[in-house]
Amino acid sequence: MDANNRIVVDALQSSNFTRERFLEIRAGGIDCVHATVVIWEDARTTLDLLGAWNRMFREHDDLIAPARNGQEIRDVVAGGRVAVVLGFQNASSFEDDLDLVEVFFDLGIRVAQLTYNIQNHVGASCYEPEDAGLTRFGGYVVGEMNRLGMLVDLSHVGERTSLDAIDRSARPVTITHANPAAVWPHPRNKSDEVLRKLAARGGVLGVAPYAHLTGGGPVAIEEWTSMVAYAVDLMGVDHVGIGSDASHGWDEEKLQWIRKGRWSHVTQLGPASPDAQGWLPWPDFFKTPAMFPTIEQGLRDRGFDDAEVDKLVGGNWMRIFDEGLTPHSDSRPSVVRASA
């Protein structure tokens, strides 16, 4: 990839976005970020959040701009701004109404994670004791997302539901922020079976430095890039990218909302553990998005060459954006179950 045309992508951040946060992103050389709009919100509340994003884009149009496909990302970056791809971390905004998928697509949403941390109308989360798989409604949602050009994200999704969704989708799907469970066992990380199937269908995994997904304690850049190498060996270098899961600027009240929404009155740990329930320190190599170049240097030190690094830090995501954020005629009605 020509260095002049290279675009660096962080495939998931869920921070409290402000001008200062986007200045950090730009300082880290990140050209494009997939930004979380929704975690637990319903359709009406989602409209409020999208209205706030519209104001953000107007008030800081010298720094950021929305992007809805690969070419728009390139155009925004060529103009010296950070391209922002808006996405949901839950299908809750669709409620039980298939038409809302297109409504929110028309309002700018280009990525939707099928579930967050509990079962919904679409399927099971990674924390369900029993994963019954993609629901009939979930199958229709995936088909509608395929038709419109909205990326399917499986980051918090359960094992069987993930396998079903990969089978059901006529297009490559994504895991924007997770790691291989074979390296760091955790319900939020992904099995080799899911990762192999994802890659076989053309998808991309966004590996994350988020501490709860890297063993829960301090991790050195060498350990983290060793995990990246494992993912590349398993999936191929064309199917791995970066999704930092950066979540800066939130207080304890917001953390509790992220963990339990309105569905629980008791503490929910999510990715945390009883001994480490709060926000964990970010690793020394990625305290903020401004340190993204440290990740790139770590990949080079691990032995990845220039072409491989270009793919890992953005090229693979740009392929997915080019392929996945365009309309598609196939919206198959039947749910295809994963084989045992």
Other Cβ atoms closer than 10 A to 21? 18
Using pLDDT thresholds of 50, 70 and 90, give the confidence band for residue 338.
Answer: very low
Flag whether pLDDT at 321 surpasses 70: yes
Residue 259's pLDDT is 77
Using pLDDT thresholds of 50, 70 and 90, give the confidence band for residue 335.
Answer: very low
| Residue count (the chain) | 340
Show Cβ contacts of residue 44 under 8 Å, excluding neighbours closer than 6 positions. none
Within a domain: 337: no
pTM of the model: 0.93
Q: Which residue has the higher pLDDT, 335 or 158?
A: 158
Residue 39 DSSP SS3: coil
Within a domain: 85: yes
Given a contact cutoff of 8 angstroms between Cβ atoms, the answer to whether 28 and 293 are in contact is yes
Given a contact cutoff of 8 angstroms between Cβ atoms, the answer to whether 195 and 203 are in contact is no
Within a domain: 335: no
* Domain interval for residue 283: 9-324
Within a domain: 4: no
Within a domain: 3: no
* Average confidence (pLDDT) over 194-210: 98
**Phi/psi of residue 76, nearest 5 degrees:** -65, -45
Which residue is listed with tokens 């499986």? 154
Residue 202's pLDDT is 98
Residue 270's pLDDT is 67
Residue 330's pLDDT is 55
Residue 329's pLDDT is 67
* Average confidence (pLDDT) over 16-26: 98
The dihedral region occupied by 2, where left means phi > 0, alpha psi between -120 and 50, and beta the remainder, is beta
Strand partners, 207: 242
Cα gap 191→179, rounded to integer Å? 9
The segment with the largest mean pLDDT, out of 182-186, 215-219, 268-272, 335-339, is: 182-186
Within a domain: 311: yes
Residue 252's pLDDT is 80
Q: How many domains does the chain have?
A: 1
Residue 269's pLDDT is 64
* Average confidence (pLDDT) over 285-312: 98
Residue 46's pLDDT is 98
Cα gap 185→179, rounded to integer Å? 9
Using pLDDT thresholds of 50, 70 and 90, give the confidence band for residue 306.
Answer: very high
The domain that holds 275 is classified in CATH as 3.20.20.140
Within a domain: 329: no
Which residue is listed with tokens 């964990």? 280
Using pLDDT thresholds of 50, 70 and 90, give the confidence band for residue 253.
Answer: confident
Flag whether pLDDT at 139 surpasses 90: yes
Within a domain: 196: yes
Task: Please tell me what DSSP assigns to residue 279.
Answer: P
Q: Give the count of alpha carbons within 13 A of 42, CB side only.
A: 6
Residue 226 DSSP SS3: helix
* Average confidence (pLDDT) over 179-200: 98
Q: Where are the beta strands (DSSP E) in the chain?
A: 9-13, 32-38, 64-66, 82-88, 109-113, 151-153, 174-175, 204-207, 240-242
Flag whether pLDDT at 221 surpasses 60: yes
Given a contact cutoff of 8 angstroms between Cβ atoms, the answer to whether 63 and 22 are in contact is yes
Using pLDDT thresholds of 50, 70 and 90, give the confidence band for residue 339.
Answer: very low
Radius of gyration of the chain (CA): 18
Cα gap 169→201, rounded to integer Å? 9
Handedness of CA 280, 158, 187, 195 (dihedral sign): negative
Task: Tell me the pLDDT tens digit for each residue of 75-133.
Answer: 999 999 999 999 999 999 999 999 999 999 999 999 999 999 999 999 999 999 999 99
Task: Tell me the pLDDT tens digit for each residue of 233-245.
Answer: 999 999 999 999 9
Residue 30's pLDDT is 99
